[in-house]
Every structure is written in C-alpha cells, then in structure tokens.
Amino acid sequence: MDCALGWFADPIYLGHYPEFLVKRLGDRLPKFSKEEMALVQGSSEFYGCNTYTTNLIKAGGGDDFSGGHTMGFIWPDGSEIGEESQLGWLRDVPWGFRKLLVYVYKRYKTPIYCTENGWAIKDEYQLTPEKAIRLQIYDSGREVYYRGYLTALKEAVVEDKVDVRSYFAWSYVVIQSDLVDVQADSLPLLSSQSHVPHLTGY
C-alpha cells in the first residue's frame, strides 16, 4: 500500500513519504523543499479513490514501484482470490474493497469519494444480438459484482464508520463494442437498478 497509494497520498495528507519508501529508495526518492511541502500538504480536502479489484502479494521479485513484492490472484492452497472478469487483472473481491476504504480513512482521516469502480463481463462484446439483449437485461455477473461491492461499502460506512461521500459506478457498459445499429434502443441493465436498496436507510 505504501507503493501504490502512500507514495503519492502520504505527502498530501501526512506531509511526508512512507517510511518504507524512504528506507527502500534512499537518495533516489525526490526530496521536497520546505516550500514545496507547505504547498503540497493539505492541498486536498478529500481522497478520490479509483478501485476495481484486490491483489494478493508475496515477498520477493517485482521492482521498486511494487515494493519488491510479486502480485497475483492465487492463494497458497491453489484457489483463486475471486471471479475473473473479461480483464485479466480484474477480480471480484468485495472484502478487499472494504479493507481498502478502512485503511485509507484510518490513515488519512479525510472524506472518501469513490470515483471509479466497475466490472467487465467475459466476452460481452462478442455476444450475438439476441444474447446481448438478454444479457443487457439480466447482466448477472455485473449485478453480483455491484451487489458485493456496495454491500462492502455500506459495511465500511455503517460498521467501520468510514466517511464515504460518493460512489461512481464506472462500467455499466461493455469494454468494447462495434456500432451496428445507430437507432437501437437502450435497455436498462439489472445492475443499474439492483444497488438502490443498498444505498438507502443509513
């Protein structure tokens, strides 16, 4: 987390680099002057969080950007961390989303705006028109993803007292498409409606 988030967020919210990075990079880590740090620290009133998935890490390998760790999706017992999407790097891991929100809020003590979060269904762009219409209405993979992530968000807010101000669902559409019928009607997806009950009552 120090490499993925702290490298950029710690100077803004805490006024210094993460200790791990200072030790690992030494003189290669750019230094802030007092004037620069005064300009950077406190320059944001909230944390904008683009997040889609969770990775497992293990020590060894990797470069300095990854902190000398290797990222993957396989547990030591051989099982996978979550359902795979169209994108190889995107897995359905809602518990990781909750842990991220808690980590960010406890570390930086600032409101969080979830600015991107979403799912890509496998081979969605290759479906026949008939199957695509059926999937558009009953896009269960995306609906499952949003249900899990919005439940995790609600748990972070209600149970962990994380101050989340906004959530933006990024992928209500396919990640790739071919324009065939410019007059085609738009159909609401199941996932566009199923999250409403999760966001009321708190």
pLDDT band at 32, cuts 50/70/90? very high
pLDDT cut 90: percent of the chain above it: 55
Tally helices (H) and strands (E) across the chain: 7, 7
Instruction: Please write the tens of the pLDDT for every residue from 163-199.
Output: 999 999 886 545 555 555 555 566 566 666 665 555 5
pLDDT tens track for 61-76: 767 666 677 888 999 9
If one compares 12 and 126, the residue with the highest pLDDT of the two is 12
Looking at residue 9, its pLDDT comes to 97
Residue 36: its pLDDT value, please? 96
Mean per-residue pLDDT, 98-124: 93
Return the higher-pLDDT residue of 173 and 91.
91
- pTM, two decimals, is 0.81
Cβ atoms of 108 and 47 closer than 8 Å: yes
Contacts of 151 (CB under 8 A, 6+ apart): 94, 198
Residue 193 φ/ψ, nearest 5 degrees: -115, -25
Q: Return the domain boundaries, the chain.
A: 1-44, 45-54+92-199
Distances (CA, A) of 19 to 34, 112, 138, 180: 18, 23, 48, 54
> Which of 48-62, 111-125, 175-189 has the weakest average pLDDT?
175-189
Average pLDDT over residues 139-159: 91
Q: What is the pLDDT of residues 40-49, one digit of tens each?
A: 999 999 999 9
Average pLDDT, the chain: 84
